[in-house]
């Protein structure tokens, strides 16, 4: 993992943060002690950083041009896993979903007494902090489904649970039984710890692997992975949905949306609703009237 710092952003700071967020990153401002020592920082693995440098330089030129400023100096330093976790912990944020749900890092304390469920997570190296738009989109679908279709909260399947965030949210929001799978066994260990931390370990069954080991049908399936894995899994999802079931998929780029939906229809699924954040899109899908 690399820590990338844009040094002394000056008046461009807000615009740079907005640009980086629009690129799907979770930037933070590191305040220096003296004037002008501030920097905007974000984290990226080596391959993504290599691919992103051109787009970053272009963005910096454009934004700083508007402000009549020269672009900030870029500094990138590789972090080992211990440094990465420490850095990440320092900047991890609390996410609020209206008045309905709070997701916070386990080491952060809320200043006021919450009136809604709070999920407390330590994702360690697993994905799923609430920091990524694709996770937040799933959580918003979940909250909406609970409001308009509370019956959909009986049996829930979370495919690619990562830190366990979606499974835990489903359980905290009233699901009777949750099954969560991930092909990454380390993620499952983290997810189980998080489930215990949130008092819902009894409600969630964690299973290594993907859908092959799942034979039941569910009222609600959540899957925040990526476009290609999701489309491959379409027929398997369809077989595990109850006739009135809802499938929430996320991790899809907006530009992939139309093609993705066409493939969904071919697999017998149709769109029920759409949510968008930054360049990400997430859909809730139901079984179509026509089976393919
Ligand atoms: N659900 C979390 C984590 C999403 S990251 C959130 O919404 O934030 C995606 C996760 O899917 C990773 O942990 C990855 O290991 C897992 N994954 C990838 N392909 C998978 C597959 N085919 N079946 C099950 N899990 C998969």
Integer Cα distance of 269 and 246 in angstroms: 10
SS3 for 29? strand
Ligand 1 pocket mutation pick from 123, 142, 160 by most atoms within 8 angstroms of CB: 160
Atom of ligand 1 nearest to the CA of 233: 22
User: Which long-range contacts link 56-65 to residues 24+ away (Cβ below 8 Å)?
Assistant: 59/19, 59/23, 60/6, 60/16, 63/12, 63/15, 63/16, 63/19, 64/12
**pLDDT digits over 204-224, tens only?**
999 999 999 999 999 999 999
Atom of ligand 1 nearest to the CA of 134: 7
Atom of ligand 1 nearest to the CA of 161: 1
CA–CA distances in Å: residue 55 to residues 17, 42, 51, 153, 278 = 15, 15, 8, 42, 16
Q: Is 170 in the pocket of ligand 1 (CB under 6 A)?
A: no
- Please report the sign of the dihedral spanned by the C-alpha atoms of residue 137, residue 138, residue 139, residue 142: positive
Structure tokens at 119: 């999920």
CA–CA distances in Å: residue 249 to residues 138, 142, 180, 212, 227 = 7, 11, 15, 18, 9
Q: Is 279 in the pocket of ligand 1 (CB under 6 A)?
A: no
Ligand 1 pocket mutation pick from 119, 162, 165 by most atoms within 8 angstroms of CB: 162
Average pLDDT, the chain: 92
Main-chain dihedrals φ then ψ at residue 239, nearest 5 degrees: -70, -20
Q: Is 182 in the pocket of ligand 1 (CB under 6 A)?
A: yes
Could you tell me the distance, in angstroms and rounded to a whole number, from the CA of residue 47 to the centre of ligand 1?
19
The angle formed by the CA atoms of residues 110, 112 and 113, to the nearest 5 degrees, is 95
**pLDDT digits over 22-70, tens only?**
887 888 888 776 656 789 999 998 999 999 999 999 999 999 999 888 9
SS3 for 239? helix
**pLDDT digits over 254-287, tens only?**
999 999 999 999 999 999 999 999 889 999 999 9
- pTM tops 0.85, yes or no: no
Integer Cα distance of 238 and 278 in angstroms: 28
């Amino acid at each position: 993992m690399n820590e990338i710092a844009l040094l002394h952003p000056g008046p461009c700071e807000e615009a740079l943060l907005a640009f980086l967020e629009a690129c799907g990153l979770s930037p933070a401002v590191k305040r220096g002690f003296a004037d002008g020592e501030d920097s905007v920082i974000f984290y990226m693995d080596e391959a993504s950083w290599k691919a992103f440098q051109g787009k970053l330089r272009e963005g910096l030129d454009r934004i700083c041009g508007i402000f009549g400023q020269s672009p900030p100096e870029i500094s990138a330093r590789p972090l080992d896993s211990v440094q990465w976790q420490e850095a990440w912990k320092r900047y991890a944020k609390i996410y609020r979903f209206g008045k309905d749900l709070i997701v916070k890092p386990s080491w952060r304390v809320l200043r006021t007494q919450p009136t809604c469920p709070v999920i407390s997570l330590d994702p360690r190296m697993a994905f799923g902090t609430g920091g990524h738009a694709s996770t937040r989109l799933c959580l918003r679908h979940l909250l909406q489904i609970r409001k308009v279709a509370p019956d959909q909260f009986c049996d829930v399947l979370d495919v690619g649970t990562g830190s366990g965030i979606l499974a835990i949210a489903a359980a905290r929001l009233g699901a009777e039984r949750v099954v969560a799978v991930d092909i990454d066994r380390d993620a499952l260990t983290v997810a189980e710890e998080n489930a215990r931390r949130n008092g819902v370990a009894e409600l969630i069954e964690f299973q290594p692997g993907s859908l092959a080991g799942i034979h039941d049908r569910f009222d609600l399936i959540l899957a925040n992975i990526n476009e290609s894995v999701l489309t491959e899994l379409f027929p398997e999802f369809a077989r595990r949905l109850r006739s009135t079931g809802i499938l929430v998929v996320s991790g899809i780029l907006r530009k992939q949306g139309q093609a993705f939906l066409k493939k969904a229809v071919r697999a017998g699924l149709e769109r029920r609703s759409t949510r968008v954040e930054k360049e990400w899109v997430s859909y809730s899908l139901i079984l179509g009237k026509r089976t393919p």
